[in-house]
Structure 1
Amino acid sequence: MEVVIRRTPEEVAATAAGIVADYVRSGPSVLGLATGSTPLATYADLIRRHRDEDLSFAQAVSFNLDEYVGLPAAHPESYRSVIRREFTSHVDLPDADVHGPDGNAEDVFAEAKRYEAAIDAAGGVDVQLLGIGTDGHIGFNEPGSSLASLTRIKTLTEQTREDNARFFESIDEVPIHVLTQGLGTISRARHLLLLATGAGKAEAVQAAVEGPVTAFCPASVLQLHPHVTVVVDDAAAGRLRLADYYRYVLANKPTGQGF
């Protein structure tokens, strides 16, 4: 695991966008896309690179991390809508190549298995963007989730629903159930890219990076992965005990060693 501490959220976004852009430029790639507030600046930076630097997504396909159950696909806060509005409609990534679980499937349990199989059939995810919840969840894998879990239906905690209520008129509109890639599914991506900004995420970041590997902090499963890049701003790094060491390592990276 490499922890990259940047001064500002803007620098976090630029670093993350650069990592994703390297995969896209390398040839056909499978991108794992996350929603929430934190990745939006990264998507904006990728859109800028597409517009100003001819970064093409024509050889990429993407898989969304999760989706609300029962929220109409056309609802502005469905994750299919959010990803299209905030990112894919602004680049040359066709809608047909942007995949997400169907939260309105007649059989959501079968849909979870179908989506898991679709990721496998695409060859797996090359780079997976991740945010982190205040309780340490990634995707919608709430505390207590199996570290080996696959795509499935989950029940959101009240804390997560409260955190997401800002995107709706009230918490009553936030669905209780979601379809989410599991921690085992996420862990099969070849490169995990976790982003966090702001002091409100500092405790969760510290638990994920430096705490024990435990289902109580689902993001701690990243410690078991061979290729993880955690990009945080100074505020989100505020509780890291080894922050000075992480900065030292970054300043002294061997020549030619990327992320």
Structure 2
Amino acid sequence: MELIVLKKEDIAREIAKEIVTLINRKNNACLGLATGSSPIGVYQELIKAYNNKFVSFKNVKTYNLDEYIGLKEDDSQSYHYFMNKNLFEHIDINKENIHIPDGLNSSKCIGTYEQEIAKDGGIDFQILGIGSNGHIAFNEPGTSFSSHIHVVKLKESTIKDNSRFFESIDDVPTSAISMGLQSILNAKRIVLIATGLNKAEAIFRLFTEDENENLPASILKSHPNCTIYADEEAASKLKIGV
């Protein structure tokens, strides 16, 4: 597990550059995508690359990590809506190649989602963020390292973190469907993005604690091809500068 400390905008550029290189080498690459504030800069850079004709997404397959339980796809707080607005509407990806967990039919999704990933050859490149409590996707502290796609009851700290996207904390869903930790670890390449002081404690713990299920992101220590991209604020407790 490698740590690279860069400015926020440089993190987005570096990751997007790697994704574009991958797609131009393998035009049917399978991308694992995340939501929230962390990957938005990457998506903006990918849109720029597409607009400049540096890359085509026509044959690319995408699989998102998670979705809230109970939100319709067109709900402005759903991750379907987020991905459409921040990436898919702006590139030439085929709709049938887009996969996002179904928060209205979680039992069916649990039965088929990872089978679809396997059928597409597995995730070539997985983007992750990290929560203030060390969660990745919606795998909260205490989640088994052997977990696969599952329904999760969200911790209060996660609901509080995500309340900034909602009008009120009472509007934040309390459960979600999420790819499990083992599912994530199966990706061939993983990058995790951490920016801002609110991620500093999680990044400090990630690099100072051993693997343990109370820190879900610590499972990444065992991945052979994982890079943690942090800005100076997120890496501040490690005393590493840009």
- Give TM class, smaller chain: over 0.9
Other structure's SS at 2:237 match? coil
Q: Could you give the per-residue CA deviations for residues 82-139 of structure 1, whole angstroms, max 9, x where no partner exists?
A: 011101111111222110111101xx23421211211111111000000000000000
- Could you tell me which amino acid in structure 1 is paired with residue 18 of structure 2? I
Aligned pairs (5 A) from 1:219-258:
219-240=217-238, 243=240
What residue in structure 2 maps to residue 257 of structure 1?
none
Q: Report the Cα distance in structure 1 between the residues aligned to 2:74 and 2:45, rounded to whole angstroms.
A: 25
Give the match's secondary structure for 1:67: strand
Per the TM alignment, residue 73 of structure 1 is displaced from its structure 2 partner at its CA by: 1.2
Secondary structure of residue in 1 paired with 2:236? coil
9-18 or 136-145, larger mean C-alpha shift:
9-18
1:162 to 157, 160, 163: 160
1:186 matched residue in structure 2: 184
1:217 equivalent in structure 2: 215
Q: Which runs of 5+ in 1 are unaligned?
A: 248-259
Between the aligned partners of 2:193 and 2:224, the Cα distance in structure 1 is 17
Alpha-carbon separation, structure 1, partners of 2:126 and 2:138: 14
**Counterpart residue type for residue 60 of structure 2:** A
- Residue equivalent to 2:25: 26
Q: Deviations over 1:21-48 (max 9, x none)?
A: 1211112200000001010011001101
| 2:107 aligned residue | 109
What is the CA distance between 1:178 and its match in structure 2? 0.5
| 2:196 aligned residue | 198
Q: Name the residue aligned to 1:61.
A: 61
Which residues in structure 2 correspond to 1:141-180 (within 5 Å)? 141-180=139-178
The C-alpha deviation readout for 1:133-169, integer Å capped at 9, x for no partner, is 0000000000000011000000001111111111111
1:198–1:236 Cα contact (<8 Å) kept: yes
The answer to whether the 8 Å contact 1:210/1:240 transfers is: no
**Over aligned residues, Cα RMSD in angstroms?**
1.3
Residues in 2 aligned to 1:12 and 1:24: alpha-carbon distance in whole angstroms: 19
What is the CA-CA distance between 1:240 and the residue it aligns to?
A: 2.1
CA distance in 2, matches of 1:233, 1:133: 15
Q: 1:127, 1:190 within 8 Å by CA — same for their partners in 2?
A: yes
User: Partners in 2 of 1:18 and 1:209 — Cα distance?
Assistant: 26
Alpha carbons 1:205, 1:236 under 8 Å: kept: yes
Tell me how far 1:210 sits from its aligned partner: 3.1
Structure 2 unaligned segments of length 5 or more: list them: none
- Secondary structure at 1:219's aligned position in 2? helix
- Specify the code of the residue in structure 2 equivalent to 1:3: L
Identity, in percent, stands at 38
Equivalent residue for 1:255?
none
Q: Which amino acid aligns with 2:90?
A: H
